[in-house]
Chains A and B, each alone.
Chain A
Amino acid sequence: MSKDLKSTTPTDSEIVFGILNNSENAIKRLYVAYFPMVMQLIINNNGTADDAKDIYQEAVIVLYNKIKKGDFELNSKLKTFIYSVCRRLWLKRLSQMNRYGGDLHDFQDYSPVDDEVEQHEERDIQFDKMKSALGMLGEPCKTIIEDFYINNRSMQEICEEFGYTNADNAKNQKYKCLQRLKKLFFQQK
């Protein structure tokens, strides 16, 4: 059934070392190489192109984090891993939407990836909470927090940007913002 998907497939080790070295090109090549495979899976199992994009990106993130953590063993195939994660995620999505008819039309071999998917989903829940906490935080807190803790900007820069007359005022403001963010984050269930 499965069609041969033509693309210049990079080798697994190229990708793994590329990602470990923060190579922008490695991610891109990975993404381009396996997207058609996932599209094929989703499209032919009651999904849309947008579903394929969502699922595939999640899978790439799972793989990316696994490689970054140094967990990915080179003897398992990248392709199989991505396909398995997508398959697992899509099955879940289908049953959530009550569209799962009991059989999935498969195109590749797959292996059990329940642990990875579960970890990823737990992490996602945390990120969702963080996202909504940041959303509720409001300005200028949100920007101050993001600039300092995420974008690694110094207090000096932040001070100048927001026009604080001295660094202590800025620190004070940042402290209050962080306390509020924590409160908002932990309030959520």
Chain B
Amino acid sequence: MRDEQLLEVIERYLNGDMGTDERTAFEQLRKENAEIDGRVIEHQQFTGLLKQYGERMELEKRLNAIHHEIDVHAIEEEVTIRRSWIVKLWRHHHSKISVAASIAIFAVLGTLFFTGYLKNTNSYTELSREMEKQHQSINQLSKRVGDIQTTNTNNRVLPQDKLRGTGFAITSNGLIATAYHLINGNDSVYVQNAAGKSFKAKVLYTEPQNDIAILKIVDTTFQGLGTIPYTFKKSDSEIAEGVYTYGYPQDSGRFGEGRVTSTSGLGNDSVDYEISIPINAGNSGGPLLDNRGNVIGIVKAKETRQEGVHFALKSNYLLNAIKNIPSDSLTKTPVLNTENTMANLTRVQQLKKLKNYVFMVKVY
């Protein structure tokens, strides 16, 4: 049977145009021949779809005709909810408005933040970035200390020292505490006493993480110091306690006085005190004393970005450092003074005693 003829037969079958006998015969054929059965089903579905498609088109035509009779505009008028222009504006443009508003909020917050209005409510990360900056400014300061010293000493008689700071005696046999950043990387160190006499010293021990260096006077002309008049405080000092320092920002010693403004230093670092003392480059490594003449710390750094903010390492870190000095680099264990002979003296009298134990540290 040709395809064309088969289609005609199928159509006659589907349309019910067959006689009873023919129909029975064809149904028998369908059962036996799966291919013909498949063709019947396929044709039925396809023409069915065509028919439904036609009906759909017809229905749409009818609906359109009905729609045409309706007064659409009147209905539209009737059902539209009249809104004020601001509601319409919001309905149609709310996404754009939202974006604009968020940008505005960010701009305002950003401005407030950068102008410092939000200092107290800074998020943690913002704060830590600020810290980073402060660290940098401190590092820059210690470099600048060097620069200043170099230029200051340009017109001086040789030998010319590279860096200058302050140190103070720990023991009467010539152990001197100072700041590590002064002697960092320099092997030739001299200390000069209040009378202007220089002694050669060697670096005995350093703790770079705490910015501590212990020097020992090794000069043959050194004859030892008298009994150290101050003691070293083991516990932390209180906030607002009156403190002072003596050091060598200039060729001659300078006294400076202030208070403990915080018992923690930069970035809440409990290693340091924050102090308010007028300090200049060259004060680094100097002793920080309380009113009773106890050494409570070592002056170490200055915050350049804020006026009057300085830092001093707490004295118990110094005490630890002294304990940590390897015994093979010492002839005998350092014995710290336990009797404070400055406690009841006036500040003037204290300074008279103190200045003999504070040295200018010169690094070549």
Q: Do A and B come from one complex?
A: yes
Binding site for B on A (CB under 8 A): 1, 3, 5, 24, 27-28, 31-32, 35-36, 39-40, 43-44, 46, 49, 52-53, 57, 60-61, 64, 101, 123, 126-127, 130-131, 145-146, 149-151, 171-172, 175, 178, 182, 185
Given the known interface contacts A101-B95, A149-B47, A172-B4, the answer about A35 and B81 at a Cβ–Cβ threshold of 8 Å is no
One of B51-59, B195-203, B237-245, B260-268 contacting the partner: B51-59
The answer to whether B79 touches A57, judged by C-beta atoms less than 8 angstroms apart, is no
Please, could you name 11 A-B residue pairs with CB atoms under 8 Å apart, sorted by A?
A24-B62, A27-B62, A27-B63, A31-B63, A35-B75, A39-B72, A44-B81, A60-B63, A101-B95, A149-B50, A175-B7
The answer to whether B67 touches A53, judged by C-beta atoms less than 8 angstroms apart, is yes
> Closest residue of chain B to A102, judged by CB?
B94
The answer to whether A150 touches B51, judged by C-beta atoms less than 8 angstroms apart, is yes
Distance of A37 Cα from B258 Cα, bound (Å): 83
The answer to whether B72 touches A126, judged by C-beta atoms less than 8 angstroms apart, is no
Summarize A's interface: helix, strand, loop or mixed: helix
B1-38 Cβ-contact flags toward A at 8 Å (1 or 0): 00110011000000000000000000000000000000
The answer to whether B67 touches A44, judged by C-beta atoms less than 8 angstroms apart, is no
The answer to whether B54 touches A43, judged by C-beta atoms less than 8 angstroms apart, is no
Distance of A168 Cα from B271 Cα, bound (Å): 109
Q: Is B73 an interface residue (CB 8 A)?
A: yes
Distance of A182 Cα from B72 Cα, bound (Å): 40
Of B54, B75, B94, B95, the contact of A36 (CB 8 Å cutoff) = B75
Of B8, B54, B94, the contact of A151 (CB 8 Å cutoff) = B54
Question: Using a CB-CB cutoff of 8 Å, which residues 60-89 of chain B contact chain A?
Answer: 60, 62-64, 66-67, 70, 72-73, 75-76, 78-81
Of A32, A64, A101, A149, the contact of B51 (CB 8 Å cutoff) = A149
Give every chain B residue within 8 A of A35 (Cβ-Cβ): 67, 70, 75
Binding site for A on B (CB under 8 A): 3-4, 7-8, 46-47, 49-54, 56-57, 59-60, 62-64, 66-67, 70, 72-73, 75-76, 78-81, 91-92, 94-95
Question: Taking the nearest CB of chain B, how far is it from the CB of A116, in angstroms?
Answer: 16
Q: List 6 A-B pairs, minimum CB-CB distance, nearest first.
A: A150-B54, A40-B79, A149-B50, A130-B53, A31-B66, A36-B75
The answer to whether B51 touches A46, judged by C-beta atoms less than 8 angstroms apart, is no
Distance of A40 Cα from B59 Cα, bound (Å): 24
Question: Taking the nearest CB of chain A, how far is it from the CB of B325, in angstroms?
Answer: 72
Give every chain A residue within 8 A of B53 (Cβ-Cβ): 126-127, 130-131, 150
The answer to whether B50 touches A44, judged by C-beta atoms less than 8 angstroms apart, is no
Summarize B's interface: helix, strand, loop or mixed: helix
What is the total of A-B residue contacts with beta carbons within 8 Å? 87
Give every chain B residue within 8 A of A32 (Cβ-Cβ): 66, 70
Give every chain B residue within 8 A of A27 (Cβ-Cβ): 62-63, 66
Question: Taking the nearest CB of chain B, how far is it from the CB of A30, in angstroms?
Answer: 9
Distance of A31 Cα from B66 Cα, bound (Å): 7
Give every chain B residue within 8 A of A61 (Cβ-Cβ): 56, 59-60, 63
Give every chain B residue within 8 A of A101 (Cβ-Cβ): 91, 94-95
The answer to whether A57 touches B67, judged by C-beta atoms less than 8 angstroms apart, is yes
Most buried by A among B51, B63, B91, B94: B63
Give every chain A residue within 8 A of B95 (Cβ-Cβ): 101
Question: Taking the nearest CB of chain A, how far is it from the CB of B364, in angstroms?
Answer: 75
Distance of A53 Cα from B68 Cα, bound (Å): 10
The answer to whether B60 touches A44, judged by C-beta atoms less than 8 angstroms apart, is no
> Closest residue of chain A to B94, judged by CB?
A101
Given the known interface contacts A35-B70, A61-B60, A182-B46, the answer about A49 and B76 at a Cβ–Cβ threshold of 8 Å is yes
> Closest residue of chain A to B65, judged by CB?
A28
Distance of A52 Cα from B76 Cα, bound (Å): 10
The answer to whether A126 touches B49, judged by C-beta atoms less than 8 angstroms apart, is yes
Question: Taking the nearest CB of chain A, how far is it from the CB of B42, in angstroms?
Answer: 9
Other than A27-B66, A31-B63, A175-B7, give 13 A-B pairs with Cβ distance below 8 A: A3-B78, A36-B78, A39-B76, A44-B80, A53-B67, A57-B60, A57-B67, A60-B63, A127-B52, A149-B47, A150-B53, A151-B54, A171-B4
Given the known interface contacts A53-B72, A178-B7, the answer about A130 and B50 at a Cβ–Cβ threshold of 8 Å is yes
Give every chain A residue within 8 A of B51 (Cβ-Cβ): 149-150
Distance of A12 Cα from B159 Cα, bound (Å): 114
Distance of A35 Cα from B52 Cα, bound (Å): 25
Give every chain B residue within 8 A of A49 (Cβ-Cβ): 72-73, 76
Give every chain A residue within 8 A of B62 (Cβ-Cβ): 24, 27
Given the known interface contacts A36-B78, A53-B72, A64-B59, the answer about A28 and B54 at a Cβ–Cβ threshold of 8 Å is no
